[in-house]
Amino acid sequence: MKRLFNHRFLALIQKEFAQIRRDRRIAMSLILPPVLQLMLFGFVLNSKVQNLRLGVIDESRTPESRELIARLSESESFRLTSYYLSPDALTDAITHGKAQAGLIVPYDYARNLQRGRQANVQFLLNAMDANTATIARTYAQSVIASYSANLQSSGLHAEFSQIAVPDVGRRGRVDLQPSFLYNPGLVASWFSVTGVLGLLCILNGSLVASATMVKEREAGTLEQLLMSPADTSEIVLAKIVPLFLLLCMMALFAIGIMRVVFHVPFHGSFMLVFAGAALCLLSGIGIGTFIATFTQSAEQAQLTSFFVNPPMSSLSGALTPMEAMPHWMQPLAKFNPIYHFGVICRASMLKGSGIETLWPNFLALLVFTVILVSLSVWRFRKQLG
């Protein structure tokens, strides 16, 4: 191994830093995306459903029915928009999007309740957005369940029936009593924010790296560099090192936002998370450098990144639960650095897991990093040589 820190390497590194300093886009891309993406995914893209427009047909017109309607519309989830007279009008409103959910309280509702019989209400949902519909159903169910629990004390009983799902005849009744560990408040942002950190490392790492690598070729200065006594490994490393340092700062910044803005707890070791992020960054830089070896211009590199990055991020379990993916696809995530970093980040921050449980993920990240970085350095060298 040659002495790395010689005058040449120093000159190369200084040059890279001076260029990065001049390049506003790089500085921006180190601050803007972490802030923007963390905020975006943390605040906006959470799975809470709020203020669904609810249309109602109240055939019962009794205090009981009004009580039920009030309960529903008082919740954050539904907002009563208007009353309808016929089921046709309501269906119409749902079809045209004036209402997103519909409730039909039958004329015998109050009577049935008073007589202690089962009272049925109909709940219609626009299932075009399946996710929203599912969540809305759950909310409606829980509202009615709590309403019916109140009634039970007075011996009354209401049941929720929906037309979207066929009624499965059930005997007996199992009540699920979940107890939420590690995220007792079910703060959705903790999930998304820890996932976004991995995304940031890979996306930003690869974009910035490919742009920097391709720039020299685009400007035509590469030849000049190759004619200098600098070794190709020196050239590539001198490009990677400053980027890595800057991206590490970005990761620190992002972790800071997670802590301060989203109050993500830090049960485990900070160093562990940071080490994971560093490995993840190196994988990202490796991907970017690799892309750069196939492309001649910054535009091409960016376009090529579009083919690589979106599938990688959506198949990583960073923003949607892994379990939501088809079974046969789930093993693919094992080849995705974002997935492993997500596991490390969540387990360490939220659960306080240590290296003893997370070592397989670290090993995987390390393997990716070594493979990607050496592959890209090799490709780059071959191209230059």
Comparison of 11 and 355: residue with beta carbon closer to other proteins: 11
Q: How far is the CB of 300 from other proteins (least distance, A)?
A: 16
Residue in 203, 211, 383 with CA at minimum distance from that of residue 292: 211
Please report how close the Cβ of residue 6 comes to other proteins at its closest, in angstroms.
8
For residue 324 the two structure tokens come to 């939501």
The answer to whether residues 122 and 163 touch, using CB atoms and an 8 Å cutoff, is yes
Residue 7 or 170: the one with the smaller Cβ distance to other proteins is 7
Task: Provide the token pair at 135.
Answer: 């969540």
Question: Residue 230 or 298: which CB sits closer to other proteins?
Answer: 230
Minimum distance of other proteins from residue 254's CB (angstroms): 27
Binding to other proteins by CB under 8 A, coded x per residue (else -) over 2-21, reads -----xx-xxx-xx--xx--
Q: Are 239 and 16 in contact (CB under 8 A)?
A: yes
Our finding on whether 385 is near other proteins (CB under 8 A) is: yes
- Applying CB under 8 A, among 47, 95, 150, 224 the residue interacting with other proteins is 224
Q: Minimum Å distance from CB 231 to other proteins?
A: 7
Which of 31, 35, 149, 226 binds other proteins (CB under 8 A)? It is 226
- Token look-up 């685009």 returns 218
* Residue 93 to residue 82: CA distance in whole angstroms: 10
Choices 155-163, 216-224, 337-345, 375-383; region in contact with other proteins by CB under 8 A: 216-224
Residue 231 touching other proteins (CB under 8 A): yes
What are the residues whose beta carbons fall under 8 Å from the beta carbon of 354, sequence distance 6 or more? 268, 269, 272, 348
Q: Which of 184-192, 229-237, 336-344, 357-365 is the region at the interface with other proteins (rule: CB under 8 A)?
A: 229-237
- Determine how β-strand 158-162 pairs with β-strand 119-125: parallel
Residue 225's nearest CA partner among 381, 34, 12 is 12
**x/- map, 173-202, other proteins, by CB under 8 A:** ------------------------------
| Residue closer to other proteins, measured from CB, 169 or 385 | 385
Mask of contacts with other proteins, 19-38, x by CB under 8 A?
A: x--xx---------------
Which residues, 6 or more positions from 336, have their beta carbon under 8 angstroms from its beta carbon?
A: 312, 315, 316
Among positions 176, 219, 260, 324, the unique one binding other proteins when judged by CB under 8 A: 219
Q: Binding residues for other proteins, how many (CB under 8 A)?
A: 24
Helix, coil or strand: residue 58: strand
197 in the Ramachandran plot: left (φ > 0), alpha (ψ -120 to 50) or beta?
alpha
Q: CB–CB of 368/337 below 8 Å?
A: yes
**Of these, 74, 76, 159, 223, which contacts other proteins (CB under 8 A)?**
223
**Per CB under 8 A, 230 contacts other proteins:** yes
User: ∠193-196-199 over CA atoms, to 5°?
Assistant: 170
Shorter beta-carbon distance to other proteins: residue 108 or 231: 231
**Contact of 15 with 219, CB cutoff 8 Å:** no
- Cβ atoms of 212 and 239 within 8 Å: the answer is yes
> How far does the chain reach from its first CA to its final CA, in angstroms?
19
Supply the minimum distance, in Å, between the C-beta of residue 376 and other proteins: 21
Q: What is the contact surface with other proteins in residues (CB under 8 A)?
A: 7-8, 10-12, 14-15, 18-19, 22-23, 219-221, 223-231, 385
